[in-house]
Amino acid sequence: MDALDRLSPPLRRGERVSLRLTTPATDLIGFVDALDPLTLEDRHGRIHVVTRGTVLAARRVGASLGRDPRSTPRPLLDALAERAGVTGEPELHRISEVLAGLPAPVEVFAGRGEWSDGARRARVEGEWLTTDVTEPALLVDLAWWATRQNARSIQVRR
């Protein structure tokens, strides 16, 4: 029995996990993309297939905490907003707080970097999700999408 068999409840697609592997000897953090075989997507969008029996330790992990978004210099926030094509006063959030206690979705929006539904926009750059989306449910969906790209903070421009 390896560490995956000891997880209770069993892993499900969409969850973020940290694994210590024996072959190759490495640590791997990513979102569960498939269960058989176990496949993880890391923060860079790379896919890793995990060989059964090579998992020494496994644990579920939440979204990365990141720095306090309120300590970010305003010129940096403004530059991110300009590149995202959104305007207005910034409202800042930690993604980990937005997603706290919510179950991870099996799938997120397709693509990386930019999202738009024609009227609203979002862009991931570095540790930031910058958007003009204010609808809570859609903002949560975008936060899940962004955290898979290593984003840790959100600025909503109203």
Specify whether 21 is located in the same domain as 56.
yes
Q: What's the chain's average pLDDT?
A: 95
Distance CA 103, CA 60 (A): 12
Final residue of a domain: which of 43, 60, 77? 60
Closest CA to 116 of 106, 131, 102, 126: 131
Final residue of a domain: which of 18, 42, 60? 60
Specify whether 122 is located in the same domain as 150.
yes
User: Is the pTM above the cut of 0.75?
Assistant: yes
Tens of each residue's pLDDT in the chain, 158 residues: 578 889 999 999 999 999 999 988 999 999 999 999 999 999 999 999 999 889 999 999 999 888 999 999 999 999 999 999 999 999 999 999 999 999 999 999 999 999 999 999 999 999 999 999 999 999 999 999 999 999 999 999 98
69-93 per-residue burial string, b: 16 or more CB within 10 A, e: under 16:
beebeeeebeebbeebebeeebeeb
Specify whether 74 is located in the same domain as 151.
yes
Specify whether 113 is located in the same domain as 137.
yes
Specify whether 95 is located in the same domain as 135.
yes
Question: In the prediction, which pLDDT does 1 show?
Answer: 54
Specify whether 36 is located in the same domain as 82.
no
Question: In the prediction, which pLDDT does 2 show?
Answer: 77
- Cis peptide bond prior to 103, omega within 30° of 0: no
Final residue of a domain: which of 40, 60, 80? 60
Specify whether 52 is located in the same domain as 14.
yes
Specify whether 92 is located in the same domain as 56.
no
- Structural domain count, the chain: 2
Specify whether 79 is located in the same domain as 44.
no
Which CATH number does the domain housing residue 28 bear?
A: 2.30.30
Write out the DSSP string of 57-73: EEEE--S---S-GGGS-
User: 90-94 and 153-157 as β-strands: parallel, antiparallel, unpaired?
Assistant: antiparallel
Q: Which residue range forms the structural domain that includes residue 116?
A: 69-157
Specify whether 100 is located in the same domain as 153.
yes
Q: For residue 20, give both structure tokens.
A: 């210590």
Place of tokens 């970097």: 113
Specify whether 19 is located in the same domain as 84.
no
Contacts of 113 (CB under 8 A, 6+ apart): 123, 124, 125, 149
